[in-house]
């Protein structure tokens, strides 16, 4: 899958947000930006803690910012790191995103210019969804 209109802008927002990462332990700074169906953008960076297990990934920070703004239908997420390989969202973040938009697009990027577009369906083919509870 190739990048679509607006994807580079979303990557720019994620790259800027990455500068807000609090990652003194891993030094692995991640930025994420979600564009919603209402065409709003919500960004997040990873926030680590001296009690390591309390760390929250960039993707979940962005998702929770969107939900807290009352904006729950996601169109795409851009995830940016500064590395020579592309990022890949962790399993927990895939599941959290699937709660809201199981077929959303996922744009993976590096500050150096690597790009890959995929879908959450491809990354998490069989998510546990709200309808599983009914
Ligand atoms: N991290 C993210 O923010 N997103 C990912 O997709 C993978 C991991 C963060 C968590 C932690 O702060 C650091 O990267 C190393 O695991």
| 49 Cβ inside 6 Å of ligand 1 | no
Residue with tokens 């997040």: 44
Distance between CA atoms of residues 132 and 66, nearest Å = 24
Contact 12, 45 (CB under 8 A): no
Q: What length does the chain have?
A: 134
Q: What pLDDT does 110 receive? A: 98
By annotation, the residues acting in catalysis are 59
Contact 29, 15 (CB under 8 A): no
Q: Where exactly are the structural domains of the chain?
A: 7-124
The answer for residues whose C-beta is within 8 angstroms of residue 49's C-beta and 6 or more apart is: 55
Share of the chain above pLDDT 70, in %: 100
Is the model's pLDDT at 1 over the cut of 90?
no
Distance between CA atoms of residues 91 and 68, nearest Å = 22
| 106 Cβ inside 6 Å of ligand 1 | no
- Show the DSSP H helices in 1-134 as ranges: 7-18, 58-68, 91-100, 120-123
pLDDT in tens, 12-61: 999 999 999 999 999 999 999 999 999 999 999 999 999 999 999 999 99
| 129 Cβ inside 6 Å of ligand 1 | no
Q: Domain 7-124: what homologous superfamily? A: Cytidine Deaminase, domain 2 (3.40.140.10)
Distance between CA atoms of residues 12 and 87, nearest Å = 15
Q: What pLDDT does 81 receive? A: 99
Average pLDDT, the chain: 98
Q: What pLDDT does 75 receive? A: 98
Distance between CA atoms of residues 116 and 43, nearest Å = 19
pLDDT in tens, 97-129: 999 999 999 999 999 999 999 999 999 999 999
Is the model's pLDDT at 5 over the cut of 90?
no
Ligand 1: centre distance to CA 65 (Å): 17
Closest CA to 57 of 88, 99, 102, 100: 88
């Amino acid at each position: 899958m190739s990048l679509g209109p607006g994807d580079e802008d979303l990557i720019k927002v994620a790259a800027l947000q990455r500068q807000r990462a609090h990652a003194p332990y891993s030094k692995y700074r991640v930025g994420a930006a979600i564009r919603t169906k209402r065409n709003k953008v919500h960004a997040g960076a990873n926030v680590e803690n001296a009690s390591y297990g309390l760390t929250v990934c960039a993707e979940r920070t962005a998702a929770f910012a969107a939900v807290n703004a009352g904006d729950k239908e996601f169109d795409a997420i851009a995830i940016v790191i500064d590395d020579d390989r592309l990022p890949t969202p962790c399993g927990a973040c895939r599941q959290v995103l699937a709660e809201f938009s199981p077929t959303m697009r996922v744009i993976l990027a590096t500050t150096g210019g690597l790009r890959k577009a995929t879908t959450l369906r491809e990354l998490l083919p069989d998510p546990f969804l709200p309808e599983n509870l009914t």
